[in-house]
Structure 1
């Protein structure tokens, strides 16, 4: 058995109906040297009462007024004592061997400071599942992270020494706090993943979030994280190092972010069938970077959204084009099969 203490950290807010199975999965871990710190972030339902029903010497519950996830996870790290830290999403499931397998990898590969695993994303409404495993071997983690996040937050275990050297979670990141941390960790350590399904993450129904404002903040903060790490590589200091909480105001407009927002707009059309939301996202994309493609897409969306009949015809056309594209992909796959 690996001889390093692991601290498992999880933050709850109004998730009373998802306490028992999730906490049980942590107490069922095969790894022995374990502490579990659960923060109740000012829940107004029965979350705290359900958490306090669990009695185990490895489990400690901290309760405070609502402060948000980032401040709560920072407090959890400060309250923990393990040399290695594992995150666990509230309501999610860590399979029994998760901590043992990830700890074994960290013990065997001292150059690795962050480790994930294969994740099952399960839609809590439809029951549909999808596998998430984005980290690719043979390519530097930072190069991959500059394109997209390679981990879900709850699957990760990292060394406390790497966390402290990277500077820990930063309160300015109300969202994407994990992505910002991974970007900075990628400058000082190697990333790895256990090639086994060890974590189940429960997700909301597919589709773009209902709030354009929330999506905007999420994507702007993600781009801030990317620009910060690029500045650290170039100059040694990033926007937050220089300007603190005002760093977001010094973020440069970005063609990269414009592309992300256009992608969300397309998802709003295809998945949510919401042309008004797509129009808002396309406007934000054009504010980041003006392009003929983006302008034409927005004009097409606005034209289709002006009348109900026109809107429905446009959406039916999109459905037919998607079906045609899927058939072509299937035909190519059959041709390529031995």
Structure 2
């Protein structure tokens, strides 16, 4: 662990690192160690267990005790709140100038926090700073570059149809977050993308085109879990829908979501949602997740989803290719290059 000087008790840390955990006991140590080893010392780490049913909380306590780092503030929710309410609760607990997000099980380059603080100090009008990242497949152990932005600035139109960087790579300016409000709790997924839209309406962000964030996809995460894919893709299209509305229109749509449900509100977006579900199904097969791909096919039949014709062909081919001894890296790249 990198040595550091503990700030005076009355001093507000310049950075708050927010890191949520739920049923991730096996990946506590690597993320905690990555945070502790940051070259930038003036931070507090707010890390919580969202009422896990495994040994996550015990492992968090064990690792925190072994680190003996006063900058770590770990706590446990008495009931499962969910990701978005948990982030909002953590935001209310800090007065730091900058807010950095780290996903459970992920790692940061040792200079990540230092470089992002410097970038935001150089650009005092920037609302947040994102970086390039990599993602590692937990089964094949293949690591691939996972960003699609290469300019020094990020503006609203850069994220209009997809988000080219991951939530965990972002450091927010706290004053910008406070100005637009907290994360929208109607979102189970994609609350980060919705937040980016809201922030980029007020200004631009900065981007560091270097890999400072190392993400590990979880085997039961949204990338591989068919049931979660349905919720995530619906949330994606809700974020896009809201991005084109003014405040009154946004409030009206969110009220409808709460009263009538997301699927009712997204009726007009069904063709795009079904296309994205089909793309996810193709990816599962290409990446060798035959069981998950079959589970998703069963789910779409039960929900009355109709895949576009070309994707039914893609699925048939992908199912065959996924059984061949082909490079996992090649398959991942092929899956990510699928036409829309």
Normalising by the smaller structure, the TM-score range is 0.7 to 0.9
Match of 2:282 in 1: 266
Matched, 1:101 2:110: no
Following superposition, the deviation at residue 85 of structure 1 comes to 0.2
> 1:17 — aligned with what?
26
Relative distance call for 1:316 and 1:198 in structure 2 (3 A) is closer
- Evaluate the alpha carbon distance shift between residue 295 and residue 114 of structure 1 in structure 2; reply closer, same or farther with a 3 A threshold: same
Of 86, 108, 129, the residue aligned with 2:143 is 129
Selected match of 2:43 from 7, 14, 34: 34
CA distance in 1, matches of 2:132, 2:14: 23
**Within 5 Å, which residues of 2 pair with 1:167-178?**
167-178=181-192
Q: CA deviation at 1:318?
A: 8.9
Report whether the alignment pairs 1:220 with 2:234. Answer: yes
2:265 to 250, 257, 264: 250
Asked if the contact 1:258/1:285 (under 8 Å) is kept, the reply is no
Greater mean alpha carbon deviation, residues 172-181 or residues 130-139:
130-139
State the superposition RMSD in angstroms: 3.5
268 and 72 in structure 1: CA distance in 2 versus 1, 3 angstrom threshold: same
Structure 1 distance, partners of 2:162, 2:176, is 21
Cα distance between partner residues in 2 of 1:123 and 1:296: 27
Q: Does 1:62 align with 2:75?
A: yes
Query: What runs of 5+ residues in structure 2 fail to find an aligned partner?
Result: 1-11, 334-340
CA distance in 1, matches of 2:54, 2:73: 19
Of 174-183 and 223-232, the range deviating more from structure 2: 174-183
1:113-128 counterparts in 2 under 5 A?
113-128=127-142
Q: Provide the aligned length of Structure 1 versus Structure 2.
A: 306
Give me the whole-angstrom Cα distance separating, in 2, the residues matched to 1:280 and 1:103.
44
CA pair 317-26 structure 1, distance change in 2 beyond 3 A: closer
Superposition TM-score, scaled by structure 1 size: 0.77
Q: What corresponds to 1:294 in structure 2?
A: 308
Which of 8, 15, 19 is equivalent to 1:6?
15
1:162-218, Cα deviation, whole Å (9 max, x unpaired): 212222211111112212211222211212221222111111369985544321111
1:291-333 Cα distance to aligned partner (Å, 9 max, x none): xx924654x689x7xxxxxxxx99548989x99xx8xx9xxxx
Q: Relative to structure 1, is the Cα distance of residues 145 and 278 closer, same or farther in structure 2, using a 3 angstrom cutoff?
A: farther
Structure 2 SS opposite 1:198: strand
The CA distance in 2 between the partners of 1:196 and 1:188, in whole Å, is 25
Q: Partners of 1:87 and 1:221 in 2: how far apart?
A: 20
Q: Is the CA contact (8 Å cut-off) linking 1:231 and 1:239 kept in structure 2?
A: no
Give the corresponding residue for 1:50. 59
Q: Which has the larger radius of gyration?
A: 1
Matches within 5 A, 1:124-273: 124-137=138-151, 141-204=155-218, 209=223, 211-232=225-246, 237-240=250-253, 242-243=255-256, 245-246=258-259, 248=262, 249-254=264-269, 255-271=271-287, 272-273=289-290
Map 1:81-92 onto structure 2 (within 5 A). 81-92=95-106
**Gaps in structure 1 of 5+ consecutive residues:** 288-292, 305-312, 330-338
When residues 41 and 206 of structure 1 are mapped into structure 2, their CA distance, relative to the original with a 3 A threshold, is: closer
Write out per-residue CA displacement over residues 226-266 of structure 1, whole angstroms, 9 at most, x where no aligned residue.
10111138x66454455462373333422433432332233
Cα gap change, 1:198/1:110 in structure 2, threshold over 3 Å: closer, same or farther? same
Residues 245 and 102 (structure 1), Cα distance of their counterparts in 2 relative to 1, 3 Å cut: same
Report if the CA contact (8 A) 1:208-1:267 is conserved.
no
TM-score by length of 2: 0.77
Deviations 1:64-84 (A, max 9, x none): 122211111111111112111
SS in 1 for 2:127: strand
2:246 is paired with a residue of what secondary structure? helix
Distance 2:318 2:280 in 1: 18
Asked whether the equivalents of residues 26 and 94 of structure 1 are also in contact (C-alpha less than 8 Å), the reply is: yes
CA contact (8 A) 2:156 2:204 kept: no
